[in-house]
Amino acid sequence: KLASVEGCTLGEDPAAWISGEPQTSSSGTVTKITIGGAELTGTQLREALGLRSACFTVAYGDEGFTFTVLGYGHGVGMSQYGADYMARQGSDWEEILHYYYKGVVITEPSA
């Protein structure tokens, strides 16, 4: 699938396919990665390779590429399955939000 990405040219040496270090957000989500000379977002690579999340690291070794993927989804930071489980165990919405978003302050909207 990567070979079909515009501007992506994968040469004979797989070790050279990824150029430099991927750029990431403060949460670890890949924001930019260069593969075969093509600049991709983490989401584009996620979709091309069928990864669960754009929060990943990639390494190349003797056995090929290893992607270590954290989380599942679109980078919001809350697992819908985990939140559902917490709710079924009796947690209210405030407890769930505080669990996933450390240090958040919940206030009433101003009129």
CB half-sphere exposure, 23, CA atoms < 13 A: 7
Residue 95 — pLDDT band, cuts 50, 70, 90?
Answer: very high
Residue 49 structure tokens: 């390779």
Residue 110 structure tokens: 């101003």
pLDDT tens digits, 35-67:
999 999 999 999 889 998 888 999 999 999 999
Secondary structure (DSSP) of 3-55: GGSTT----S-GGGSEEEEEEE-TTS-EEEEEETTEEE-HHHHHHHHT-S-S-
- Give the whole-angstrom CA distance, residue 104 versus residue 12: 49
Residue 60 structure tokens: 């190349």
**pTM for the full model?**
0.65
- Indicate if the pLDDT at residue 76 is higher than 70: no
- Indicate if the pLDDT at residue 105 is higher than 70: yes
